Structure 1
Amino acid sequence: MALVTTKEMFKKAYEGGYAIGAFNVNNMEIVQGITEAAQEQKAPVILQVSAGARKYAKHSYLVKLVEAAIEETGVDLALHLDHGADFEICKSCIDGGFTSVMIDGSHHSFEDNIAVTRRVVEYAHERGVVVEAELGRLAGIEDAVNVSEADSSYTDPAQVEEFVTRTGVDSLAIAIGTSHGAYKFKPGQKPQLRFDILEEVERRLPGFPIVLHGASSVMQEYVQMVNQYGGQMPGAIGIPEEMLREAAKMAVCKINIDSDIRLAMTAAVRRHLVEHPDHFDPRQYLADARDVVKEVVAHKMVHVLGCAGKA
């Protein structure tokens, strides 16, 4: 029962042809739902915290919630910073108990990305913390991440060897067609991942763990439930789960999932309040939200990530 790094997780995932789910956490119910699913499925799991989550729930609260989850479930957890904007934020999380951080220098030039990533890696490795970086830019909006389609770009496989060698980074997020948020594609647009890029990256970096951001499937049963109970989410669509499972069989060892959790929770709360208009106790509708988080995470572990039974 401990906070652990992702190093051993990723090694087993790469060799076993599966991926670890990295689920964003913002409050107690999300932490409970994810970790209870991991406990029941006997699956490795990463809890990740965005800048928005740290602003909303505060760093100390989130760390203590994760520590409580470890004590309650007996599950080993990695605590990861998602999309660290600069060295200072990464340093704060490293000093504050995180076991993994992402430095997102993808908005910088190639050389500047290398420089800031290398600085974070040196600081983190001295303290036993692992580092994820990013090459290429994903379109979409999620928390502090807001990248237009025009500014997005696929990862150039020709750059990955130099980047990893010069930075010493432990894992690499690449852009192959995933997108942040619940509106990943335009109406009528067919979702497609660039497996050719992934294959070339794998060829150039054999055995090296790759990460997919923006990999929610925007599960349609919850979109329909949101709309049925008063919401308005027309045209919300995500990455087909079979594509993510295929990526998990290749070099992808970490798949980030956030929007699916938000969507399912919102659907559950909307339904509860419509079906029980007399309820005003948050514990009543948030219990439904927690239960649906657990269901979604368990589904992902079994059917998408392939990591159930691998802890």
Structure 2
Amino acid sequence: MTLATLAEVLQPAMAGGYAVAGLVTLGWEDMRAFVAAAEAEECPVILQAGPSCRAHTPLPVLGKMFRHLAESARVPVVGHLDHGYTVDECKEALDAGFTSLMFDGSRKPLADNIAETRAIAEMAHGAGISCEGEIGFVGYADGESSAGTDPEEAALFARETSVDAMAISVGNVHLQQDKQGGLDEGRIAAIQALTDVPLVIHGGSGVPVDQRRRLARTSNICKFNIGTELRMAFGDALRAAVNADPDRFDRVAILKETHDPMVAATRRVLAALKG
């Protein structure tokens, strides 16, 4: 088994000058392709179950799926809860066999975010797994606006919560379909000057690939979350498979044809973050 905690893959990444991809899963087809791509690239991978994934598939089922894939994988695989909003949700993921919990208190006042994230981190560490928190607020394309991370608040948050990874808001946006923006490297440097915790970029699909590659090598950003970019690749592959034969109705045969295109798209993401 190569099931790993978040700390076990991010600490070597920070020391070695590379980053690990947190890949947002929606079902068996994509998570299987993500692990196959990581094996081909010979790098660790973080399988993430976000709110939309959990709305479709129960956490205990997702935990079994993640652990099943990890058991036969040749690379480290992290089973990660992405954007857990309550203690109960985080506890359910822990009980389901996840090896990393991301508690998102970023919409809360700073003191509440610190207190609640610290409690989740203590629960996670007590069970031998990892915890990620978020300081500042990463907004959504065509939705809520971002609130940039204050470096002093980030230092306080990291110190008071003892999280294993810290998600920051530095120009990144969830659900962005293009790569026209870019991250605020001055703010990243200011945060890094006051902290020594691995940093996480949510909304990594909107970050130019060259910037991802450079920051993975030169900063404490050790985890880029990638969702939209690979969901778009899956949609393209599924559309092509359906349109190739409009009379075909067997979904197993159709979904099988998404595998190779998804592996190829994922390998491109992973390759840019490797040391």
- Tell me the TM-score normalised to structure 2 length: 0.94
Work out whether residues 86 and 116 of structure 1, in 8 Å CA contact, stay in contact via their aligned partners in 2: no
Aligned to 1:286: 255
Separation in 2 of the partners of 1:15 and 1:71?
A: 26
Among candidates 144, 151, 157, match of residue 148 of structure 1? 144
1:183 Cα shift? 4.2
Aligned to 2:22: 22
Distance 1:139 1:183, change over 3 A: farther
Separation in 2 of the partners of 1:270 and 1:35?
A: 23
The alignment partner of 2:83 has SS state of strand
Unaligned segments of structure 2, at least 5 residues? none
Among candidates 150, 160, 167, match of residue 173 of structure 1? 167
Aligned to 1:209: 198
Work out whether residues 138 and 147 of structure 1, in 8 Å CA contact, stay in contact via their aligned partners in 2: no
Task: State how 1:179-198 maps to structure 2 within 5 Å.
Answer: 179-183=173-177, 190-198=180-188
Separation in 1 of the partners of 2:36 and 2:157?
A: 37
1:242 maps to 2:232: no
The alignment partner of 2:233 has SS state of helix
Q: Between Structure 1 and Structure 2, how many residues are aligned?
A: 274
1:4-41 CA distance string (max 9 Å, x none): 11213112111111100111112111121011111121
Separation in 2 of the partners of 1:257 and 1:156?
A: 24
Aligned to 1:265: 234
Letter in 1 for 2:257: D
Separation in 2 of the partners of 1:67 and 1:126?
A: 20
- Tell me the TM-score normalised to structure 1 length: 0.84
Task: State how 1:87-236 maps to structure 2 within 5 Å.
Answer: 87-140=87-140, 147-149=143-145, 152-183=146-177, 190-206=180-196, 208-216=197-205
Letter in 1 for 2:57: A
Moved over 6 A (4+): none
TM-align CA RMSD: 1.7
1:192 Cα shift? 2.4
Letter in 1 for 2:170: I
Letter in 2 for 1:299: R
Mean Cα displacement is larger for which, 82-91 or 272-281? Answer: 272-281
Letter in 2 for 1:167: T
Aligned to 2:13: 13
Separation in 1 of the partners of 2:208 and 2:185?
A: 14
Separation in 2 of the partners of 1:137 and 1:184?
A: 20
Unaligned segments of structure 1, at least 5 residues? 217-237
The alignment partner of 2:246 has SS state of coil
Letter in 1 for 2:144: S
**% of aligned pairs identical?**
32
Aligned to 2:264: 295
1:289 Cα shift? 1.7
